Structure 1
């Protein structure tokens, strides 16, 4: 988190259950009750991106440089590897239809199966967003513009070295001039239900980064005092 100091002018705002009612979503409620907190957080990050706009980052993301020259984008998406999208760093303008599609998918489903059991494995956000978007849009990895606008047909995806900055399949860190972040995949989802905290980071900026959303599940000992 020390690297976030490079994002000068960004303001942190705490997201907790005063901001999000876990009972407002069957998916979230069931995931929490099953102690599958990461799957509840998947919904909440989509909810925050759609309703507030901004950039979501996992808390194990290292910032290399600010996102300032990406602020006019309608959305920010990159590949993690040749087979999947990076879900640890995503951005969207408020009301972006891409994340409305994701919310609609979650809202039409329960986390538990018809027998009240946890599916094996539960669908995580990378799989959800890729399956949802493939049904409606063309995913274009032939990226040619620094300011993709949503046209309702095509989703333009940045290369892996923009946000993940790890090669495939060896996961070695590879930083290029175009790199903004490094995703360290540190496995931040640990601890108790009580320790689940949500952070939102806010910036006065252009279209997309009015808010930067950060979610982490940590235990009370690690968290310290509120």
Structure 2
């Protein structure tokens, strides 16, 4: 059974937004029996995590907070179990009916598993498989966002049968690419992911993620140049 713990991560010591406060208050109201744990620089040994995982270390060096939290959420869930929530996820009702699962996710789009809400028992085999991907496979793969990585693993292993995957209406009914429609929230909706970007990463620093798997230095340089040119044209187009 999934323990009654909610985990969230707050790195960088910045101020929380009004939306974050609204969402965290919704957890306290709707999940009153749950322990709520904030993970930050004071209770995480970031040096130890960086020494154990090169991808995390490279993201930390570049202050790519969002990608650091991707790894930390998996680590915390694997060790402690519970429910991970992004700070822009508003809870509408208790997760109690779902806690009998060993692990559950929700779709964020037709193609992708959402990761603003992840729930599992401690030591879950799916979460372990994702952690293993971050250890080695990530350097051989073009994937670097956590939704694409988890989707890839569930689509390419026999572990998919061990988890529950719910439709978008359960945990991420709101589509940020479309005008908001209040009808997206149904009787099945447990929470809403509002997709607020708490970290705005420097695109130049983030480009290393898109070329990390390329071994040929000439090809890698060409891809970086192409990316830089594309960014310039996008900026000119916005003027």
- The normalised TM-score by structure 1 is 0.67
Asked if 1:166 is matched to 2:174, the reply is yes
Residue 7 (structure 1) aligned to one of 15, 24, 31: 31
1:37-89 CA distance string (max 9 Å, x none): 11111111111111111111110001100111111111111111211111111
SS in 2 for 1:170: coil
Residue 67 (structure 1) aligned to one of 87, 92, 95: 95
Root-mean-square deviation (Å): 2.6
Higher relative contact order, structure no. (Cα contacts within 8 Å, ≥ 6 residues apart) = 1
Residue 123 (structure 1) aligned to one of 144, 147, 152: 144
Segments of structure 2 that go 5 or more residues without pairing to the other structure are 1-22, 202-239
Asked if the contact 1:28–1:40 (Cα under 8 Å) also holds between the matched residues in 2, the reply is yes
Return closer, same or farther for 1:28/1:138 CA change in 2, 3 Å cut-off.
Answer: closer
| Structure 1 stretches of 4+ moved >4 Å | none
CA distance in structure 2 between the aligned counterparts of 1:90 and 1:110, rounded to whole angstroms = 20
Higher strand residue share: 1
Asked if the contact 2:143–2:149 (Cα under 8 Å) also holds between the matched residues in 1, the reply is no
Return closer, same or farther for 1:158/1:15 CA change in 2, 3 Å cut-off.
Answer: same
Residue 187 (structure 2) aligned to one of 164, 177, 183: 177
Return closer, same or farther for 1:44/1:29 CA change in 2, 3 Å cut-off.
Answer: same
Residue 76 (structure 1) aligned to one of 91, 104, 118: 104
- The normalised TM-score by structure 2 is 0.64
Residue 49 (structure 2) aligned to one of 18, 22, 35: 22
Asked if the contact 1:60–1:183 (Cα under 8 Å) also holds between the matched residues in 2, the reply is yes
1:179 Cα offset (Å): 0.6
Partner of residue 157, structure 1 = 165
Segments of structure 1 that go 5 or more residues without pairing to the other structure are 114-118, 140-152, 192-226
SS in 2 for 1:81: coil
Query: Which structure is larger by alpha-carbon Rg, 1 or 2?
Result: 2
Higher helix residue share: 2
Asked if the contact 2:103–2:121 (Cα under 8 Å) also holds between the matched residues in 1, the reply is yes
1:115-134 CA distance string (max 9 Å, x none): xxxx9x86110011111221
Residue 156 (structure 2) aligned to one of 127, 135, 156: 135
1:137 Cα offset (Å): 2.9
CA distance in structure 2 between the aligned counterparts of 1:6 and 1:16, rounded to whole angstroms = 24
1:168 Cα offset (Å): 8.7
Partner of residue 196, structure 2 = 186
